[in-house]
Amino acid sequence: MIEFISQNNKKSLILFVHGFCGGEATWRNGTEKSFPELLRDDPEISENYDIAQFLYFTKLLNLFAKAGKFSTLLKRLFSTSHGKLTNNISIEEIGNLLRTEIRFRLQTYDNVIIIAHSMGGLVTKSAITKDIEDKNPSKIKLFISLAVPHQGAEAATYGKLISDNLQIEGLSPLNDFIHKISDEWLKTSIRPATKYFYGVHDSVVKKTSAAPSDKEKSDIIPVNEDHTSITKPDSADSTTYIAVRQTILDFENNDPGISNLEFQELLDDTDFDDELFVLKLISADIHKTSIREAKEVFLNAEYIRKIFNSPSDQKRLSDLYTKIRKIYQTSYSKYLHNGIPNSGLLLADVHETILKEDKVFLDTFIPFINAIHKQGMLHQLSNSADEEIWWTKDASAGSLKKLLKGAGDD
């Protein structure tokens, strides 16, 4: 279920997801403010974010009170490769419950930032990969991973959460399910931005598991904590709190280290002068300021095409190109029937429509692509000799060749 710590009709939400044996107490250090409460009381955070936690199986906290019950319960917890929990509820099903909560309880939020601990990170990854598999736009835009066993952990390791003296043998590990999620996670480049925190004193989830090898070093953040203290900052001066807070603020400010899609500026006005899309604009007597703008958005579209190059990304980009082509055709039809008076206004009309439809008709599951990239995709289409994208009424490939030949003769 979802429990709100602050609910003030913000557009974005910070959602805490606890792990194995966890609950509300996961985030609290004794009588001090909890992790969610520290963020709630931070003016820069509370200005833009509501804060909540996703709770499940909180009664597990009490079931480990007697060591005699521990072995029996652990066998139930890990008796299958999918890490079945009590009542046959798997991590995958908990992930599905999280998706349901986000879909129906949190539907008013544009962005969800998840801070997940230990097994809660696997729940989160399961939810995200299922969104990707089902081709549903995910609200989860940033994933902050706190001591999550991305590479797996033996069931015996979890015993250290309860007692270092308990011997746990013959229990199946979670690894099969974790590896399945990890494989799906690595297959796509449209997963949300992720920051991996690990405790240097964590004997439950080692660095090699908490920090996947596919990520850049800048995405991996060591802190002077263990497996449980990493979730319990004692004050706003805690390094873990400061690092998580800054990660959220960087995301809010669209920091390049988070989005990896920083705006690319055109450094030389002569760049792309020989490209077909520029020649088409010149032949239509488009103003040089508009041509420079077209070059710059084209540059940014080329940038994203290099980043999002997986087969699934290419399919989504192809769908976007189809929609952008349709927008152009609608505007060009108006232009042909004198609804748009000249070529310059035709270009402006297409760019303006793309801007208006950015989050509607042109909405995409590919993260961080905005109207600038989509305007550039228009000129990528125009840059193809096979595309009938022109900015004058009587244009054709033949007429453009004649124009270029005449310019060469001069």
Condensed to tens digits (0 to 9), the pLDDT of residues 340-378 reads: 999 999 999 999 999 999 989 998 877 678 999 999 999
Q: Closest Cα partner for 229 from 2, 11, 32, 15?
A: 32
- Residue where one domain finishes, among candidates 224, 254, 284: 254
The CATH number covering residue 19 comes to 3.40.50.1820
Owner of token pair 């899609």: 261
Residues 248 and 282 placed together within one structural domain of the fold? no
144 shares a domain with 280: no
238 lies in the same domain as 328: no
**pLDDT at residue 364, as a whole number:** 84
On the question of pLDDT at 66 being above 50, the answer is no
pLDDT tens digits for range 23-64: 889 999 988 899 999 999 999 999 999 999 999 864 444 444
- Whether the CA torsion 102, 105, 111, 117 is positive or negative: it is negative
Q: pLDDT band at 288, cuts 50/70/90?
A: very high
276-283 and 371-382 are packed helices; what angle lies between their axes, rounded to 10 degrees?
Answer: 80
Specify the higher pLDDT residue, 253 or 77: 253
- Of 254, 285, 307, which residue constitutes the final position of a domain? 254
Residue 193, classed as helix, strand or coil, is: strand
pLDDT value of residue 167: 24
User: 242 with 289, same domain?
Assistant: no
Instruction: Calculate what percentage of the chain has a pLDDT beyond 70.
Output: 76
Position 269 in a domain: no
- For residue 232, being part of any structural domain is answered with yes
Of 64-68, 204-208, 232-236, 379-383, the poorest mean pLDDT is in: 64-68
Same structural domain, 247 and 303: no
Q: Are 302 and 227 contained in the same domain?
A: no
Residue 264 forms part of a structural domain: no
Instruction: Tell me what the mean pLDDT of segment 90-109 comes to.
Output: 92
Number of domains in the chain: 2
Local structure of 294: helix, strand or coil? helix
* Co-location of 199 and 296 in the same domain: no
The answer to whether residue 263 sits within a structural domain is no
Same-domain pairing of 191 and 44? yes
Q: What integer pLDDT is reported at residue 65 of this predicted model?
A: 42
Instruction: Return the H-helix or E-strand segment holding 12.
Output: strand 12-17
Asked if 17 and 53 count as a contact pair (C-beta separation under 8 A), the reply is: yes
H/E element holding 6?
strand 2-6
Q: 362 is in which domain, residue-wise?
A: 276-407
What's the predicted TM-score (pTM) here? Answer: 0.59
In this prediction, residues 318-341 reach a mean pLDDT of: 96
- Is 322 contained in some domain? yes
Q: Beta strands of 73-152 (E only): which ranges?
A: 111-117, 140-146
Together in a domain, 236 and 116? yes
Residue 85 confidence (pLDDT): 45
Residues 291-313, mean pLDDT to the nearest whole number: 86
In a domain, 29, yes or no: yes
Q: Is 211 inside any structural domain? A: yes
Digit-coded pLDDT (tens) for 163-220: 443 322 322 344 567 777 887 777 665 678 889 999 999 888 878 788 776 554 448 8
**Do 289 and 228 fall within a single domain?**
no
Beta bridge partners of 140: 112
Which of 219, 254, 289 terminates a domain? The answer is: 254
Q: What is the dihedral of CA 128, 129, 131, 134, to 10 degrees?
A: 180
Is pLDDT of 229 > 80?
A: yes
Instruction: Please give the average per-residue pLDDT across 244-267, as a whole number.
Output: 74
Measuring CA to CA, how many Å separate 342 from each of 219, 348, 390, 395?
49, 10, 12, 14
Average pLDDT over residues 14-31: 89
pLDDT digits (tens, 9 = 90+) for 108-148: 998 899 999 988 999 999 999 888 777 666 789 899 999 99
Judge if 32 and 176 occupy the same domain: yes
Shared domain for 235 and 126, answered yes or no, is yes
Tokens of 243: 């690092």
Q: What is the pLDDT at residue 75?
A: 46
Q: How far apart are CA 391 and CA 399, in angstroms?
A: 13
> Residue 203 domain-assigned?
yes
Tokens of 400: 């453009």
Residue 88 pLDDT exceeds 70: no
